[in-house]
Amino acid sequence: MARHLITSAIPYINGIKHLGNLVGSQLPADLYARYLRGRGHEVLYLCATDEHGTPAELAAAKAGKPVDEYCAEMWSVQKRLSDGFRLGFDHFGRSSSPQNRRLTQHLAVRLHEAGLIEEVREKQVYSKADGRFLPDRYIEGTCPNCGYDKARGDQCENCTKQLDPTDLIAPRSAISGATDLEVRETRHLYLRQSVMRRALSDWIDTKADWPLLTTSIARKWLNDGDGLQDRGITRDLDWGIPVQFEGAPWQGMEGKVFYVWFDAPIEYLACAAEWAEAQGLEAEAWERWWRTDKGAADVRYTQFMGKDNVPFHTLSFPATLMGANHDGTEPWKLVDYIKSFNYLNYDGGQFSTSQGRGVFMDDALDILPADYWRWWLLSHAPENSDSEFTWENFQASVNKDLADVLGNFVSRVTKFCRSKFGEAVPEGGVYGPQEQALTDRLSARIGDYEAHMEAIEIRKAAGALRAIWVEGNEYLQEAAPWATFKEDPAQAAAQIRLALNLVRLYAVLSAPFIPDAAQAMLTAMKTDDTSWPDDVPAALGHLAPGHAFEVPDVLFAKITDEAREDWQARFSGTRG
Ligand SMILES: Nc1ncnc2c1ncn2[C@@H]1O[C@H](COP(=O)(O)OP(=O)(O)OP(=O)(O)O)[C@@H](O)[C@H]1O
Ligand SMILES: [Zn+2]
């Protein structure tokens, strides 16, 4: 048994997440966590909402609510939707937690002691019309790199380049649209990432097994232009973690808060602390996941995220943790593997939260159960390139893989048994060469499935699982128990006994992808034994003759053309 810490990029608080967000972070992390738990490992899977920063302030203002109230409400909404998608976090925390405040302030002090924080006088855009500085997303304009006209003050969404507000061409206030902006001087803390460049580069060089997408983005940032740049970690805002020095004011930083990108990844640590507190455990309980001197040396830590989050996770956050251990007294656990994703696009364009384009988690659950979405999203995960959601493709995959292959198998086997032998596993007959050949093929395919899951090759794992389902249908076709029954009922009983055992086996193997259907299969088989089929022949004899079962309701209904057209029309525009 190994110990696995898993985190997914923490979803931003300012709205309901779309299917792109889901498949780019939380859903694959959940798949992996479920798989590892299924194999008997100790897993801590953490996620939280990312609550600080300008977009939260803007969204709260738009909703006419105080920002803390707005965040608390949106946390509940996101929690309910992640439960709806069966995301099995051990804890769903909040980056505005007291734990994160304490850890963020603490790590900043450690970085300061290490000489890795510098105070910089800088020019910031001030809006007289709004009576405030306009950091990050409070300001919009044209990207100097690619010419995109809706680039934000912190990053261009189009080309992913990180920006400073003063880089923008033709800037305007995102609050009022005002263009009478002026540049004023203010002071901010900078994380001296440039000093850490060598250490980070050496560390990335040890990660030969990481996805190319992850390391190529990291290397680009390390080496492009003048190399890795220092990064401002404070902002002139009200909403955020106050910049303080061991509880006392940080001289010159009064009234400032940490930049959201500094405190958000620290929430991964804080979330473990929140989890321990919620469980009524001592501090050691979370430190044994995060401090290599306190029990975390044997932890394997895997992070999941979309490509735009990679620079922060490969460089800024490791720089924070490495820097905080400058004297060797705070050895924080560094990530072992970063699984990153390209983008999922929507029907010929991009998903967009700000424009309300695409399918969002609440709408998705209104129209179909979670498993339908989970299966499609995971089996089409944007791993090696961007991928696209189309309603035709969604309909085709659901109908073929889930309804025709898996659902149909379960239905045929259970109904046939009920009509010929009754609702219990039939006795008689023995497994012969056909069953032996099937067992051998399944053993090989399960081996493939495990290998892909362990490598977090999600599309390949989905393909291997589908192939395992197909084996069942092909076996039924070949063995034809309905024909066998006429000549040799005992042999037909053996065939059906094997097929009923396959239903339990499928439930166990499929649970990481489609947990509700897996549970329905187990319930139908009247078993709660979810032991992994390490020994396939034994697993196929698991349900003994006489073991009662029941015919389940339809596991997956097909999507009709009318329904597809209806949804296609309903989700073609933008939502208000
Ligand atoms: N279309 C997409 N496909 C895959 N992953 C995505 C997509 N859009 C965002 N992500 C990822 O989703 C995760 C959560 O994102 P977050 O809540 O911060 O929203 P975001 O990146 O601001 O997206 P948006 O701008 O669409 O709201 C991040 O890891 C991000 O990289
Ligand atoms: Zn750009």
Whose atoms come closest to the Cα of 12: which ligand?
A: 1
Q: Is 9 in the pocket of ligand 1 (CB under 6 A)?
A: yes
Q: Which residue has the higher pLDDT, 308 or 136?
A: 308
Q: Residue 144 C-alpha to ligand 2 middle, in angstroms?
A: 7
Q: Is 0.90 surpassed by the pTM of this model?
A: yes
Residue 160 confidence (pLDDT): 85
Rounded mean pLDDT, 499-517:
98
- Which ligand 1 atom minimizes the distance to the CA of 11? 17
Residues 163-183 have pLDDT tens digits of 888 899 999 998 889 999 999
pLDDT digits (tens, 9 = 90+) for 375-390: 999 999 999 999 999 9
In a domain, 180, yes or no: no
427 and 303 within one domain: no
Residues 427 and 521 in one domain: yes
Same domain, 521 and 398: yes
Closest-approaching ligand to the CA atom of 313: 1
Task: Please report which confidence band the pLDDT of residue 576 belongs to, taking 50, 70 and 90 as the band edges.
Answer: low
What's the pLDDT score for residue 131? Answer: 82
At residue 534's C-alpha, the angle toward residues 531 and 539, to 5°, is: 65
**One domain, residues 293 and 416:** no
Residue 308 CB–ligand 1 contact under 6 Å? yes
User: Complex ipTM above 0.90?
Assistant: yes
Longest CA pairwise span in the chain (Å): 92
Q: Are residues 459 and 336 in the same domain?
A: no
Q: Within a domain: residue 330? A: yes
Cα 575 to ligand 1 centroid, rounded to whole Å: 18
The yes-or-no verdict on residue 158 having pLDDT over 90 is no
Q: Is residue 123 part of a domain?
A: no
Cα end-to-end distance, the chain, whole Å: 48
Cβ(342) to ligand 1 under 6 A?
no
Gap between the Cα atoms of 442 and 111, Å rounded: 53
Beta bridge partners of 353: none
pLDDT at 454 over 90: yes
Pairwise CA distance, residues 135 & 503, whole Å: 56
pLDDT over 80 at 568, yes or no:
yes
Mean pLDDT computed over 279-289: 95
| Residue 73 included in any domain | yes
Looking at 341, 372, 407, the residue that finishes a domain is 341
Residue 177 covered by a domain: no
- Ligand 1 atom 13: residue of nearest CA: 21
Tell me how far the alpha carbon of residue 569 is from its chain's centroid: 28
Question: Quick check: CB of 12 below 6 Å from ligand 1?
Answer: yes
C-alpha neighbours within 13 Å on the C-beta side of residue 417 = 32
Q: Mutation test of ligand 1: which of 52, 308, 340 has the most ligand atoms closer than 8 Å to its C-beta?
A: 308
Residue 172 belongs to a domain: no
Q: Whose CA is nearest to atom 24 of ligand 1?
A: 353
> Whose CA is closest to 444, among 467, 424, 422?
467
In this structure, the answer to whether residues 396 and 494 fall within a common structural domain is yes
Within this chain, do residues 311 and 413 fall inside the same structural domain, yes or no? no
Q: Domain with 499 in it: what CATH number?
A: 1.10.730.10
Ligand 1 contact, 341 CB (< 6 A): yes
Sole residue written with tokens 């050895």: 331
**What's the CA gap between 222 and 238, in Å, rounded?**
32
Going by C-alpha positions, the residue among 561, 499, 510, 552 that lies closest to residue 532 is 510
Q: Which H/E stretch holds residue 304?
A: strand 299-306
For residues 266 and 388, give the distance between their C-alpha atoms in angstroms, rounded to a whole number. Answer: 32
What mean pLDDT is predicted for residues 234-255? Answer: 90
> Is 398 within a domain?
yes
Say whether 146 counts as a known binding-site residue. Answer: yes
Q: Identify whether residues 438 and 529 lie together within a single domain.
A: yes
291 lies in the same domain as 428 = no
| Average confidence (pLDDT) over 97-106 | 97
Does 368 have pLDDT greater than 90? yes
Pair 285, 420 in one domain: no
143 is in an annotated binding site: yes
Answer yes or no: is 22 within a domain. yes
Tokens representing 541 are 């004899």
335 and 396: one domain? Answer: no
Q: Using a 6 Å cutoff on CB, does residue 158 contact ligand 1?
A: no
Has 417 been labeled as part of a binding site? no
For the CA of 9, the nearest atom of ligand 1: 29
| Confidence (pLDDT) at 238 | 85
Q: If you average pLDDT over residues 52-57, what whole number do you get?
A: 90
The predicted model gives 336-351 an average pLDDT of: 96
Q: What is the DSSP string of 356-388?
A: TBS-BHHHHHHHS-HHHHHHHHHHT--SSS-EE
Structure letter (DSSP) for residue 422: -
Number of structural domains the chain divides into: 2
Q: State which of 307, 323, 341 marks the end of a domain.
A: 341
Phi-psi region of 147 (alpha: psi -120 to 50; beta: other; left: phi over 0): left
Round the average pLDDT of the chain to a whole number and report it.
95
User: Are residue 404 and residue 527 in the same domain, yes or no?
Assistant: yes
| Per-position DSSP letters for 263-281, written without gaps between them | HHHHHHHHHHHHHHHHTT-
DSSP character at residue 164? -
Q: pLDDT value at position 33?
A: 98
312 C-alpha to ligand 1 centroid (Å) = 14
The proportion of the chain whose per-residue pLDDT surpasses 70, expressed as a percent, equals 100
More confident residue, 301 or 353: 301
CATH code of the domain covering residue 70: 3.40.50.620
Predicted pLDDT of residue 52: 97
Domain limits at 313?
3-110+258-341
